[in-house]
A and B are shown apart, each in its own frame.
Chain A
């Protein structure tokens, strides 16, 4: 680590001004689980570090009037894992409880996971698939953007140097008729080789209106298999069995990772895994109670 000055603001406004005041070299620290790895290796050499861990409104979990779930950016994975969620929100708990290990989850935060924007990590995929809204604040005020616009196609986020991610707003528990998440990792403590989520909404007649199929680990930001997802629209969930599942999975794979570009063993492996995982997600979604 190189020397830095450390601030631990107690409120958001104070944090906004600290960031504005100390300029672009300033790094925010939520749980520090990713940032400290970089600091220790001297890969990041910030003169100033501003901690977000003692700002109460950043670690609160609450519900909006429409049932949307609002999660403070500095909410830890451990908190999320233990939260009493309902409906598809339970997947947030499950995902938070099945990444890294217990000790990392005590410190690591969902906002940190989002802002780290490592494509192999689970949070970006979750956010894009669920079409979460990202509430961002700075000394200039608050705004919110779609998760899909939060991740930059070149990697990283679209946050400005003075921005702080404040809240993540997930759609209400009843929004998705079906939600699924899966990943492959070599060891349970490893980042995923491929992770994937499938979020499905239906109309009153039970026909699929939206099927968002998102993969992580492939590109610098979450990859959406739009065409493969579109093939599911108009179908009833319980009719999935009649779909050419393997064919759709192959299409998804080709869409996000064209086989012609899969020249390394790692890429070929990912291409095969996408098919396997997609097949699993589709089968699961079609199963009763999926």
Chain B
């Protein structure tokens, strides 16, 4: 057993763990963030991709102890508010009188451009591959702000999606790249 500290999404997470624990297990079971998925445990499907000290890695193929002291970002870091509030949940007859959304300090416009593009382009079906796709594309677009469709395909060649046929994922990556470019560095 060994005690390690990993900064997950900006928060310090300490755990006393078996050396056998993989980074993905640390993220899911110690940091309790289950958005990072395991589709193969063999570094092939990419569903477990996260950012480790600025690089995208497959968290099923890294030991938690390898990441001791490092900084990890997962899909949960992409948008702060995790629930999209419905615009008018209040009763119709009182519409406008109460504003509970302001009370919980939430707004709907807080998705990361990649998430927004995935939503708009229908780039996810079952959604299992999505967190990995988002994390890989985030790193890729940071390095290649103006990619071609072929380059996007190369970038996600280590991420398997069984549902979408990849077409809408590539569409979404291109759309997000444009948004990110427009937003400037």
B87 in contact (CB, < 8 A): no
Residues of B contacting A36 in the complex (Cβ-Cβ under 8 angstroms):
22, 43, 61-63
- B169 to chain A minimum Cβ distance, whole angstroms, is 15
Q: A103, B158: Cβ atoms under 8 Å?
A: yes
Known: A6-B19, A32-B66, A102-B155. A40 touches B2 (CB 8 A): no
User: Is A6 in contact with B65, judged by CB distance below 8 angstroms?
Assistant: yes
Q: By the criterion CB–CB under 8 Å, are B61 and A37 in contact?
A: yes
B5 to chain A, nearest CB (A): 14
The range of chain B's interface size is 20 to 34
Residues in B with CB closer than 8 Å to A40 are 41-42
Residue of A nearest to B56 (CB): A103
Contact between chains at A106 and B158 (CB < 8 Å): no
A44-76 to B contact mask, C-beta < 8 Å, 1/0: 000001010100000000000000000000000
In the docked arrangement, what's the CA distance between A280 and B46, Å? Answer: 33
How far is B26's CA from A149's CA once the two chains are assembled, in angstroms?
A: 41
- A3–B18 CA distance with the chains assembled, in angstroms: 8
In angstroms, Cα B104 to Cα A184, docked, is: 56
Residues of chain A lying within 8 A (CB to CB) of residue B154: 188
Determine whether the beta carbon of B66 is less than 8 Å from that of A102. Answer: no
Q: Out of A29, A37, A51, A101, which one reaches B46, CB within 8 Å?
A: A101
Please tell me the size bucket of the interface on A: 20 to 34
- In the complex, the answer to whether B56 meets A106 with C-beta atoms within 8 Å is yes
Q: Is A233 an interface residue (CB 8 A)?
A: no
Residue from B43, B49, B55, B157 with most neighbouring chain A CB atoms (10 Å): B43
Q: Of the candidates A6, A29, A189, which one forms a contact with B158 in the assembled complex, judged by CB atoms under 8 Å apart? A: A189
Contacts of B68 in A (CB 8 A): 8
A95 CB, nearest partner CB in chain B, Å: 15
Q: How far is the CA of A12 from the CA of B154 in the complex (A)?
A: 36
Chain B residues within 8 Å of A53, by CB = 66
Which 10 pairs of residues, A with B, have the shortest CB-CB distance? A101-B158, A106-B55, A1-B20, A6-B19, A103-B58, A188-B157, A103-B56, A106-B57, A189-B157, A36-B61
Extra contacts besides A29-B66, A32-B66, A37-B61 (19): CB < 8 Å = A1-B20, A3-B19, A3-B20, A8-B68, A32-B63, A51-B65, A51-B66, A101-B157, A101-B159, A102-B140, A103-B46, A103-B136, A104-B43, A104-B58, A104-B61, A106-B55, A106-B57, A107-B57, A188-B157
**B-to-A contact residues, CB < 8 Å:** 2, 18-20, 22, 41-44, 46, 49, 52, 55-58, 61-63, 65-66, 68, 136, 139-140, 154-155, 157-159
Q: Could you list 7 A-B pairs, sorted by A, with CB under 8 Å? A: A6-B19, A6-B65, A37-B61, A40-B42, A51-B65, A100-B158, A189-B158
